[in-house]
């Protein structure tokens, strides 16, 4: 105490006290770098990264900062997590549960980073993906950012086409026409801003859309990767290019002499999408799921002047960035709308012992995913199913203890219910959580896909209207109908069901529904037109994807999906005539799957094929793609125990 008093007195009495405020201990610069859809193991600073990963600049940052091994975001898709990060509050407090809700616009009444920092003397800038409102009235330029360079849109942007007025790049609120590779351009803009504003404290929010779809990178970058999987090569090239841009930003901070007093955060907005070959080792699942792979992300904090390099196993969450930044800048946290995040500085400086905390997730009624973490216990729910995991022993969420520990399940459910009760009703999608009744009078409109009447369910479990032997035959033209869920503009025409992925839609069009079987024959006719591609996925009862079949006009690719890994197990060349109907069939007998499409056939044996299937997903990118004459004929449960072999038959 005496020391503090003496120091303050000395300052007041010394000539220093009459110097302008700039000479007082400077407020730190604050830089938030967000990657998009980056896999947990697709960074070098995850020791379990696959050997092909190359992110040397992030690795250097990790060595200068604190690696948060248990760093979370507040959801498993892009937009809701950005609402949480920007406000420091669970986005569910604002009724934002789904990507559609948050992407439609973060309420303007909510205060975000630059609105705290600008009044405190910060120059503020946003570069890249916004995804908190699709049109100019939601622009970050209207909510505290001095400089803006990026796109509003729905979450994805072409990496090369930067001059398309239909999907504009904005500088401030003006549409601009640009050239170059978007990831490079975002890095260059951040570098320029830092060079121009080094004399005052600044806040940079650099939100790369890398490595989100579309998978696009310069050819010379892709050529550096030789994984054997073209998608994976491109994904890694995109990550490498982002890492290079981050390297240039950090080099600029160093060259300009402001690095020491810069508080920098880096994380991904959600887990890596398995369907896009991301690697989340050792975590289970990925984007669109509340398993760790969807919500635990690469997470770093650097502040060379204040934080010793190292790592922490204490759970932290993107909500913590705003309160930490405010504390670092000496700005009081708001009293009227308490923040859900915590100031991490005492923990990261080692001044306090790690404390137990509760973290919550809810994706709302649309997806039905929810989760709670309390200490090392994690309860994950998806609609009617729950899984209980002890993360201290089982980071990969392999051993579900829900059956053994019903009291723990009840305790964590109560904890989550208590949190959910504090949250607002969803802005658009309906009930807070799948299965929870809404208050009287607040029943939401059902999604269009569920409004149609008299649609028979497509499920092998409901064979009443089916062919003998439990088979299910549908024309496809009668879907989507309950219990099928549809995303995208599926439309019936001439006895077939057609869909084209919308130009501004980042996700593939999707039709998904239940199908209970182990072995049997699944068949339908397929018609690929334009740039249409089709993916069929089969999901296990526990929610894991098992098998994926990718169909392009020139290839039939079979992929095994085990937890967090995609493994291409067969690639068969094809020559599909554009616009023609082709019969696709999958016959599963015990552990052997035989896929036929047109004249191509492949037959593979793997234990994964014999597992129970509970859900089918039909996905379409590009298009149009047509489907007709669906049938599913399940067999009795097959025997298990053959070894893995693969044979492919080339087309004549």
Contacts of 650 (CB under 8 A, 6+ apart): 572, 573, 600
Q: Which is nearer to Ca ion, 46 or 631 (CB)?
A: 46
Instruction: Compose the 19-38 pattern: x for residues touching Ca ion by CB under 5 A, - for all others.
Output: -----------------xx-
Least distance from Ca ion to the Cβ atom of residue 41, Å: 16
Residue 270 touching Ca ion (CB under 5 A): yes
Q: What is the spatial distance between Cα 240 and Cα 183, in angstroms, rounded to a whole number?
A: 10
Cα–Cα distance between 118 and 144 in angstroms, integer? Answer: 7
CB neighbourhood size of 340 (10 A): 22
Smallest CA-to-CA distance from 36 within 76, 92, 1 is with 76
Provide the token pair at 537: 């996925």
Residue with nearest beta carbon to Ca ion:
78
Is residue 98 near Ca ion by the rule CB under 5 A? no
CB of 227 to Ca ion, least distance (A): 22
Q: How far is the CB of 210 from Ca ion (least distance, A)?
A: 10
* Residue 616 near residue 536 (C-beta atoms within 8 A): yes
Distance separating alpha carbons of residues 555 and 343, to the nearest angstrom: 51
- If binding means CB under 5 A, how many residues of this protein chain bind Ca ion? 5
Active site residues: 78, 131
Query: E strand or H helix at 617, and its extent?
Result: strand 613-621
Q: In the complex, what is the shortest distance from the CB of residue 154 to Ca ion, in angstroms, rounded to a whole number?
A: 12
Write out the binding residues for Ca ion, residues 599-638 only, by CB under 5 A. none
- Measured from the CB atom, is 37 or 550 closer to Ca ion? 37
Closest separation in Å from C-beta 340 to Ca ion: 20
Q: What token pair was written down for 485? A: 């869920």
Instruction: State whether residue 548 is helix, strand or coil.
Output: strand
Question: What's the CA gap between 87 and 89, in Å, rounded?
Answer: 5
* Contact string (CB under 5 A) for Ca ion, positions 219-258, x = contact: ----------------------------------------
Comparison of 269 and 292: residue with beta carbon closer to Ca ion: 269
Which positions ≥6 away from 589 have C-beta within 8 Å?
519, 635, 638
Quick check: 42 binds Ca ion (CB under 5 A)?
no
Residues 63-92 that bind Ca ion (CB under 5 A): 78
Tell me which of 110, 221, 269, 340 binds Ca ion, using CB under 5 A: 269
DSSP 3-state assignment of 291?
A: coil
Site string for Ca ion, 460-499 (x = CB under 5 A): ----------------------------------------
DSSP secondary structure code for residue 245 in this structure: H
Point out which span in 170-178, 263-271, 323-331, 577-585 binds Ca ion (CB under 5 A). Answer: 263-271
Using CA atoms, how far residue 166 sits from 135, 138, 163, 274, 504, in Å, is: 12, 17, 9, 30, 9
Rounded to the nearest whole angstrom, what is the least distance from the CB of residue 152 to Ca ion in the complex?
16
- Stated as kind and residue range, the H or E segment containing 417 is helix 406-422
Distance (Å, whole) CA 423 – CA 357? 18
3-state secondary structure of 357: coil
Compute the C-alpha angle 128/132/137, nearest 5°: 95
Smallest gap from Cβ 241 to Ca ion, in A, equals 17
Which stretches of the chain bind Ca ion, using CB under 5 A? 36-37, 78, 269-270
């Amino acid at each position: 105490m005496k020391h503090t008093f003496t120091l303050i007195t000395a300052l007041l009495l010394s000539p220093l006290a009459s110097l302008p405020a700039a000479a007082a201990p400077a407020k730190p610069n604050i830089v938030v770098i967000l990657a998009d859809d980056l896999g947990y193991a697709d960074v070098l600073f995850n020791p379990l990264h696959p050997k092909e990963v190359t992110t040397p600049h992030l690795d250097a940052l990790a060595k200068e900062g604190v690696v948060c091994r248990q760093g979370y975001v507040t959801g498993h898709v892009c937009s809701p997590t950005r609402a949480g990060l920007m406000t420091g509050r669970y986005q569910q407090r604002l009724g934002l549960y789904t990507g559609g809700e948050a992407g439609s616009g973060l309420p303007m009444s909510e205060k975000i980073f630059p609105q705290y920092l600008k009044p405190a003397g910060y120059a503020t800038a946003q570069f890249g993906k916004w995804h908190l409102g699709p049109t100019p009235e939601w622009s970050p330029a209207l909510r505290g950012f001095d400089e803006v360079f990026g796109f509003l849109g729905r979450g994805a942007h072409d990496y090369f086409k930067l001059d398309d007025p239909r999907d504009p790049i904005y500088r401030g609120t003006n549409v601009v026409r640009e050239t170059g590779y978007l990831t490079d351009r975002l890095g260059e803009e951040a570098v320029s801003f830092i060079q121009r504003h080094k004399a005052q404290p600044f806040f940079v929010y650099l939100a790369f859309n890398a490595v989100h779809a579309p998978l696009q990178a310069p050819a010379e970058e892709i050529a550096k990767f030789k994984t054997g999987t073209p998608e994976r090569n491109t994904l890694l090239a995109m990550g490498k290019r982002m890492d290079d841009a981050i390297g240039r930003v950090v080099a600029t901070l160093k060259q300009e002499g402001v690095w020491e007093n810069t508080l920098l955060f880096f994380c991904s907005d959600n887990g890596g999408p398995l369907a896009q070959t991301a690697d989340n080792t050792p975590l289970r699942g990925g984007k669109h799921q509340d398993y760790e792979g969807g919500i635990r992300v690469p997470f770093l904090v650097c502040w060379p002047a204040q934080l010793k390099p190292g790592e922490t196993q204490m759970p932290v969450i993107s909500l913590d960035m705003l309160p930490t930044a405010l504390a670092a800048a000496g700005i009081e946290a708001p009293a009227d709308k308490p923040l859900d995040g915590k100031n991490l500085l005492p923990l990261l400086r080692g001044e306090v012992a790690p404390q137990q905390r509760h973290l919550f997730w809810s994706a709302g009624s649309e997806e039905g995913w929810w989760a709670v973490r309390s200490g090392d216990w994690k309860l994950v729910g998806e609609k009617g199913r729950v899984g209980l995991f002890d993360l201290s022993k089982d980071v990969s969420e392999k051993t579900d203890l829900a059956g053994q520990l019903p009291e723990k399940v009840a305790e964590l459910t109560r904890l989550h219910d208590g949190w959910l009760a504090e949250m607002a009703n969803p802005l658009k999608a309906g009930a807070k959580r799948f299965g929870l009744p809404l208050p009287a009078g607040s029943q939401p409109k059902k999604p269009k896909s569920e409004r149609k009447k008299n649609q028979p369910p497509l499920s092998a479990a409901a064979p009443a209207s089916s062919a003998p032997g439990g088979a299910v035959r549908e024309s496809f033209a009668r879907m989507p109908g309950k219990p099928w869920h549809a995303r995208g503009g599926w439309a019936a025409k001439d006895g077939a069901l057609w869909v084209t992925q919308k130009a501004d839609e980042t996700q593939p069009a999707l039709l998904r529904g239940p199908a209970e079987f182990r072995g049997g024959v699944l068949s339908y006719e397929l018609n690929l037109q334009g740039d249409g591609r089709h993916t069929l996925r089969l999901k296990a009862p526990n929610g894991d994807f098992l098998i994926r079949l990718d169909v392009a006009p020139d290839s039939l690719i079979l992929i095994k999906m085990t937890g967090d890994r995609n493994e291409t197990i067969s690639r068969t060349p094809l020559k599909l005539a554009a616009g023609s109907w082709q019969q696709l069939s999958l016959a599963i007998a015990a552990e052997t799957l035989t896929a036929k499409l047109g004249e191509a056939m492949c037959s593979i044996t793997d234990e994964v094929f014999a597992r129970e299937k509970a859900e089918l997903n039909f996905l379409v990118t590009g298009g149009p793609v047509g489907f007709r004459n669906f049938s599913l004929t399940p067999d009795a449960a097959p025997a298990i125990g053959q070894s893995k072999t693969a044979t492919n038959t080339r087309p004549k």
